[in-house]
Amino acid sequence: RAPDRSHPTPAQGPTPRYFTWDEVAQRSGREKERWLVIDRKVYNISEFVRRHPGGSRVISHYAGQDATDPFVAFHINKGLVRKYMNSLLIGELSPEQPSFEPTKNKELTHEFRELRATVERMGLMKANPVFFLLYLLHILLLDVAAWLTLWFFGTSWVPFLLCSVLLSIVQAQAGWLQHDFGHLSVFGTSKWNHLVHHFVIGHLKGAPASWWNHMHFQHHAKPNCFRKDPDINMHPFFFALGKVLSVELGKQKKKYMPYNYQHKYFFLIGPPALLPVYFQWYIFYFVIKRKKWVDLAWMITFYVRIFLTYVPLLGLKGFLGLFFMGLVQRSRRLGITSLAWECWFLESNWFVWVTQMNHIPMHIDHDRNMDWVSTQLQATCNVHKSAFNDWFSGHLNFQIEHHLFPTMPRHNYHKVAPLVQSLCAKHGIKYQSKPLFSAFADILGKRARWRGR
Ligand SMILES: *[C@@H]1O[C@H](CO)[C@@H](O)[C@H](O)[C@H]1NC(C)=O
Ligand SMILES: [Zn+2]
């Protein structure tokens, strides 16, 4: 193929444009321009952010910074991506400039890159297709079992409850499975990962892939960073989080809620409500506002399937209730609405406890532009390995390994864990792993401690 000459790149000319870290840091997007550095090369992403396939915000969170390690961590098709990137190249760091900003730990970064090379050589980035196939099968079987329970035993409250418990397992487990495809950790090409991602999150869960990408990649890029991690951003209105932020809220006299009681009202408005009251409705707003019609089409296939399979068993009245927040529910007690609400309620508790246990008790702060390993380790902890914990949390109990290597297939986390532990030990970085229930308890314990600030 003929080389693309439509974007002349100054760095390839005889006199490359040289920049300093200070010049790069000024292009963080606060003024107009956004630049970032990968392997000492300087890219102008001001205009590209809107076309970035992983979302505009995640890449913007690295504007003004070195992004070499997150670039390597998130992309599985680096050769192809680098080709596109050439059109954004505007120069490189001057030879006297160090390879990273002074906030970053140089030795740690070098050794982590060696570790990553070892991991790739060991084949730990390659997925075992049988694992994911069986995982999908166990979800589909439980889904069929839920339906058969109502069909066979009728719709009195015992089979009804059993059906909703099975459905919430299906929903929670499909949630963990979509996470694998969303991270491109199963197939060798992005295309196949994206396709099955749409099927699992769209058809099995009725949620948009684009919304999940938008939220989740930001969380991974800057976990527990105020204004950058959406999982933290939603909080200040309801909860005062973390030492740094609760002190700041206190100084600004911003008090939206009685934070002294946050460890108590967390039970009421956190775990049970996040999915049914917020996410379930927000996703429709998201896809329509952003014109994500493919996502909307996948979501509709979920509702059509539920309609065709459950309306014959439970009647039509309740189905409309799905969309009117349970108002119609009163006229038909065990309708499809109550089924959906029970299921969302159970799944929501499951989802919130598991996703909070790995991050909320850790350090929460503004972005201090630390190196990749420190950024991830100060914001992330693990939960011990066991067959139940692995299944219950979708292997997200190995959150540290997942955050360091987000495209690694989850069945390999435990193999890389000892290597990560020894890297941390060598550099005096705390690597935390705890039992499941103390992880849950820490979510509340920390909240109780932040209340008085
Ligand atoms: C960076 O891109 C923006 C938007 O395309 C452009 O206005 C600006 O001049 C570019 N800066 C450099 C240094 O190329
Ligand atoms: Zn993830």
CA distance 36 to 174: 35
- Mean pLDDT value across residues 307-328: 67
- Can you give the pLDDT at residue 56? 87
Compare 386 and 32 and report the one with higher pLDDT.
Answer: 386
Of 107-111, 201-205, 327-331, 381-385, give the lowest mean pLDDT range: 327-331
Atom 2 of ligand 1, residue of closest alpha carbon: 46
- Mean pLDDT value across residues 274-297: 84
Of 23-27, 220-224, 290-294, 447-451, give the lowest mean pLDDT range: 447-451
CA distance 17 to 10: 7
- Centre of ligand 1 to C-alpha 88, Å, is 9
47 lines ligand 1 (CB under 6 A): yes
Question: Residue 62 above 60 pLDDT?
Answer: yes
- Centre of ligand 2 to C-alpha 405, Å, is 10
Question: Residue 1 above 50 pLDDT?
Answer: no
User: Quick one: pLDDT band at residue 416, thresholds 50, 70, 90?
Assistant: very high
| 404 and 125 Cβ atoms separated by less than 8 Å | no
120 lines ligand 1 (CB under 6 A): no
| Ligand nearest to C-alpha 405 | 2
- Mean pLDDT value across residues 2-20: 60
Q: Which of 146-160, 220-234, 287-301, 318-332 has the highest mean pLDDT?
A: 287-301
248 lines ligand 1 (CB under 6 A): no
Residue 73: what are its φ and ψ, rounded to 5°? -70, -35
User: Quick one: pLDDT band at residue 419, thresholds 50, 70, 90?
Assistant: very high
- Can you give the pLDDT at residue 7? 45
- Can you give the pLDDT at residue 241? 57
Question: Residue 354 above 80 pLDDT?
Answer: yes
- Mean pLDDT value across residues 307-334: 64
Pocket test for ligand 1, best of 18, 24, 33, 88 (most atoms within 8 A of CB): 33
Q: Which of 101-110, 227-236, 355-364 has the highest mean pLDDT?
A: 101-110
User: Burial letters for 364-389: b for 16+ Cβ neighbours within 10 Å, e otherwise?
Assistant: bbebebbbbbbbbbbbbbbbeeeeeb
Sign of CA dihedral 57, 224, 257, 353: positive
- Can you give the pLDDT at residue 8? 45
User: Quick one: pLDDT band at residue 326, thresholds 50, 70, 90?
Assistant: very low
Indicate where the chain has its CATH 3.10.120.10 domain(s): 18-102
| Ligand nearest to C-alpha 91 | 1
Does the domain made of 18-102 have the CATH classification 1.20.1250.20? Answer: no
- Centre of ligand 2 to C-alpha 406, Å, is 6
The alpha-helical segments, DSSP class H, found in 97-128 are 106-121
How many residues in the chain? 453
- Mean pLDDT value across residues 374-401: 95
Pocket test for ligand 1, best of 46, 60, 90 (most atoms within 8 A of CB): 46
46 lines ligand 1 (CB under 6 A): yes
User: Quick one: pLDDT band at residue 414, thresholds 50, 70, 90?
Assistant: very high
Tokens found for residue 173: 């487990």
Sign of CA dihedral 77, 209, 296, 139: positive
Report the first-to-last Cα separation within the chain, whole angstroms: 63
Pocket test for ligand 1, best of 47, 60, 88, 89 (most atoms within 8 A of CB): 47
- Can you give the pLDDT at residue 320? 59
Atom 10 of ligand 1, residue of closest alpha carbon: 44
Please report, for residues 200, 312, 326, the alpha-carbon distance to residue 301 in angstroms, rounded to integers and kept in the order given.
11, 17, 22
- Can you give the pLDDT at residue 368? 86
Question: Residue 436 above 60 pLDDT?
Answer: yes
301 lines ligand 1 (CB under 6 A): no
Strands 89-93, 18-19: pairing kind = parallel
Residue 92, strand partner residues: 18, 41
Q: What is the number of the ligand 1 atom nearest to the C-alpha of 44?
A: 1
- Can you give the pLDDT at residue 331? 46
* Chain-centre distance for alpha carbon 37: 24
Of 99-103, 204-208, 225-229, give the lowest mean pLDDT range: 225-229
Atom 1 of ligand 1, residue of closest alpha carbon: 44
| H or E element at residue 433 | strand 433-434
- Mean pLDDT value across residues 243-271: 57
- Centre of ligand 2 to C-alpha 178, Å, is 10
| Ligand nearest to C-alpha 32 | 1
- Centre of ligand 2 to C-alpha 232, Å, is 15
Q: What is the number of the ligand 1 atom nearest to the C-alpha of 90?
A: 14
What is the value of pTM for the model shown?
0.87
CA distance 197 to 209: 7
pLDDT tens across 109-127, in order? 999 999 999 999 999 999 9
Residue 225: what are its φ and ψ, rounded to 5°? -95, 120
Q: Where are the beta strands (DSSP E) in 21-100?
A: 35-38, 41-44, 89-93
Question: Residue 3 above 80 pLDDT?
Answer: no
Q: Is 428 left (phi over 0), alpha (psi -120 to 50) or beta?
A: left
CA distance 203 to 197: 9
- Mean pLDDT value across residues 379-400: 95
The alpha-helical segments, DSSP class H, found in 315-431 are 317-322, 336-357, 372-377, 387-392, 399-404, 413-426
- Can you give the pLDDT at residue 275? 63
- Can you give the pLDDT at residue 79? 87
- Centre of ligand 1 to C-alpha 426, Å, is 42
23 lines ligand 1 (CB under 6 A): no
Q: Which of 5-14, 155-164, 316-325, 326-335 has the highest mean pLDDT?
A: 155-164
33 lines ligand 1 (CB under 6 A): yes
Atom 9 of ligand 1, residue of closest alpha carbon: 33
- Centre of ligand 1 to C-alpha 33, Å, is 7
9 lines ligand 1 (CB under 6 A): no
| 351 and 274 Cβ atoms separated by less than 8 Å | yes
- Centre of ligand 1 to C-alpha 24, Å, is 13
